[in-house]
């Protein structure tokens, strides 16, 4: 049975790949874009199976109106994909205030407001799924991506809490956590002017690795999307879905290190308890 998907940021990267694979298998897609003709080639191929809507997720009022219209037009939307986003690349001290505000508004606030706008519709139709595109960067951190990580760690905490709130309504969440993947994500990085003082620091090392091609992108975009779709199709999807060997190894290492660190703190942790209970 075909399904209906709502995808933000459908014009490029994983969002575009999602739209292509879903349409090819016979599903219906509502794809939001910021440029009206961004999916015109897919529209010519798939006709009414694709609905394109203009949206900048930082415009909360417009976002709510688009979600309401999409559910009204489609009747039912099975999976809402929160994909729109980008990366702000630079040491924290280098970032401009406006860049910080826009990163948070796009990746974090925009994702939060999309979920909030979709929940009443998902409840009324008896359930559904939300696929939040996060990153391995929702559980680990690289130098030069501090604000990007802030948004991904933030949305993961939000989703983990909301998933518990709405589970009784038959609404599931999936946090997709791709590692470095061969898409156009790197081309979309926003970069402030670099400060020379960071040249000989881990931030400088990461900058040189990315600029020099030393940052290996093991992930395959099409395979990553196929795994996301399979998870969304499954009867009991995982809350977190690591995608790519880099993501698996990085997240696994980070979790092991955190487990070791917290176990070493057991005595001091318990010492902070009240003694009268």
Q: What proportion of the chain, given as a percentage, has pLDDT over 90? A: 91
| Residue boundaries of the structural domains of the chain | 4-271
Query: Residue 62 CB: number of other CB atoms within 10 A?
Result: 15
Instruction: Decide yes or no: CATH 3.40.50.720 for domain 4-271.
Output: yes
Half-sphere exposure of 127 (CA within 13 A, CB side): 8
CA atoms 149, 153, 158, 164: torsion sign? positive
pLDDT value of residue 219: 83
pTM higher than 0.85, yes or no? yes
pLDDT value of residue 187: 66
CA atoms 256, 221, 63, 58: torsion sign? positive
Q: Classify the phi-psi angles of 9: left when phi > 0, otherwise alpha if psi is within -120 to 50, otherwise beta.
A: left
Residue linked to tokens 């999309």: 114
Question: Who's near 242: CB < 8 A, 6+ residues apart?
Answer: 136, 177, 179, 248, 251
Residue 82, strand partner residues: 132
Catalytically annotated residues: 134, 148, 152
Residue by residue, pLDDT tens for the chain (277 residues) are 899 999 999 999 999 999 999 999 999 999 999 998 999 999 999 999 999 999 999 999 999 999 999 999 999 999 999 999 999 999 999 999 999 999 999 999 999 999 999 999 999 999 999 999 999 999 999 999 999 999 999 999 999 999 999 999 999 999 999 998 877 666 678 999 999 999 999 999 999 988 887 777 788 999 999 999 999 999 999 999 999 999 999 999 999 999 999 999 999 999 999 999 8
């Amino acid at each position: 049975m075909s399904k209906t998907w709502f995808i933000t940021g459908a014009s490029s990267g994983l969002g575009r790949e999602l739209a292509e694979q879903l349409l090819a298998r016979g599903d219906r897609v509502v794809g939001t874009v910021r440029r009206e003709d961004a999916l015109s080639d897919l529209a010519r191929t798939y006709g009414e199976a694709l609905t394109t809507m203009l949206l900048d997720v930082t415009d909360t009022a417009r976002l709510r109106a688009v979600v309401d219209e999409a559910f009204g037009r489609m009747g039912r939307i099975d999976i809402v994909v929160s994909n729109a986003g980008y990366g702000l690349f630079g040491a924290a001290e280098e970032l401009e205030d406006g860049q910080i505000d826009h990163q948070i508004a796009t990746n974090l606030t925009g994702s939060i407001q999309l979920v909030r706008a979709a929940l009443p519709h998902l409840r009324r139709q008896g359930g559904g799924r939300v696929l939040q595109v996060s990153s391995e960067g929702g559980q680990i951190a690289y130098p030069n991506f501090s604000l990007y990580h802030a948004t991904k760690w933030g949305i993961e905490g939000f989703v983990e809490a909301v998933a518990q709130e709405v589970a009784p309504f038959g609404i599931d969440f999936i946090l997709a956590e791709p590692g470095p993947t061969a898409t156009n994500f790197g081309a979309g990085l926003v970069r402030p002017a670099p400060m020379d003082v960071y040249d000989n620091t881990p931030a400088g090392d990461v900058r040189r690795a990315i600029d020099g091609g030393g940052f290996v992108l093991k992930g395959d975009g099409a395979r990553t999307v196929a795994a996301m779709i399979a998870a969304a199709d499954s009867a009991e999807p995982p809350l977190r879905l690591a995608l790519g060997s880099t993501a698996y190894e990085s997240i696994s290492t980070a979790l092991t290190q955190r487990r070791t660190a917290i176990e070493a703190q057991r005595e001091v942790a318990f010492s902070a308890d009240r003694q009268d209970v």
